[in-house]
Structure 1
Amino acid sequence: RTSTSRQAAVAAHVPGSIMAKSVVVHHELGYALAVVPSTHRIELGKLQDVMDKRLGLASEDEVVSLFDDCDIGAIPPIGAAYDVPVILDESLGDAADIYFEGGDHRTLVHVSGKDFRNLTTGARQARFSHRAY
């Protein structure tokens, strides 16, 4: 059991650059999932510019109410399952394989990059993060 996507990548011997991490942001019209590699940090200012909305990080209570079947910090990057739009950081765009936590800190999902792009069809892509690790 891990408590962050970065720890999950290390435990599974998966490069953090292909471990997708979902961050829930809120804006005046609702919520969005910002998806970045576990090695990256979101640049909220850039994301606000890209989305043309004033954003903030969702509180733990907001995350629990939106994703009530998921553990905090293990939100899968599949927004369609929760009717939440997704914005993908470009750094995940061309990966041959993607890993992500499947709603808890015990389940690691591995999909091909092609399948991941199919699962996130309609998601916007932009550069809004920087490598932190």
Structure 2
Amino acid sequence: MTMATTVERSVGERTYELVPHPYSHSTNEAAQLAHVSGKHIAKGVVLEDEDGYLMVVIPATHHVELNHLRAMLQRDVGLATEPELERLFPDCARGAVPALGPAYGLETLLDEALLEASEVLFEAGDHESLVRMSTHQFMELLGPVQQGVFSHRLDPNVHHRPRH
């Protein structure tokens, strides 16, 4: 259980708890293993186009609305590839993307669904721990980011592809 250096530097002196859990393949699985609601877990989804990268932070229980984002941003964004993620998050385990876009130099959008809870959890940069903090402190970490509705809730009865 290790926190990525960038994440550790970002949280700094803020109050947080490192929540350990058995190895997980997805944020939803991490939620189950850590015995927390997936709607409280902030998942960072990295998008890319010819202009660069951006991160959309959504609840783990949701799926990014790509067509809505493309229209809103007027950019033809798509999901970043695994090699791109490894390059953008060099201090993290493969597929364990912390939902802290600004800490990694990424333009960041925040889904308003995450603001409904009093606390937020996010990947620490490995597959065995989450960082838990108040929503207020999480918002301080992100800084001024664009907020809106960028996702929809996943159907819990449909199996989704795990991260690698």
Cα shift readout 1:38-90 (whole Å, capped 9, x = no counterpart): 10011100111222211010011111111111123321111222111111111
Which residue among 59, 62, 67 is the counterpart of 2:89? 67
From the CA coordinates, give the structure whose radius of gyration is larger: 2
Aligned residues: 133
Q: Runs of 5+ in structure 1 lacking a partner?
A: none
Task: Give the conservation status (yes or no) of the 8 Å contact 2:40–2:121.
Answer: yes
User: Percent identity between the aligned chains?
Assistant: 41
Runs of 5+ consecutive residues of structure 2 not aligned to the other structure: 1-22, 157-164
Q: Cα deviation per residue 1:12-63 (whole Å; 9 max; x = unaligned)?
A: 1111111111111002211011111010011100111222211010011111
Mapped contact 1:24–1:32 kept (Cα < 8 A): yes
RMSD: 1.1
Inter-partner Cα distance in structure 1 for 2:34 and 2:140? 24
The amino acid that maps onto 1:115 is: Q
Query: What TM-score does the superposition give when structure 1 sets the normalisation length?
Result: 0.94
Please say if 1:100 is aligned against 2:100. Answer: no
**TM-score, normalization by structure 2:** 0.77
SS at match of 1:53: coil
Which of 99, 107, 110 is equivalent to 1:77?
A: 99
Q: Write the letter of the residue equivalent to 1:121.
A: G
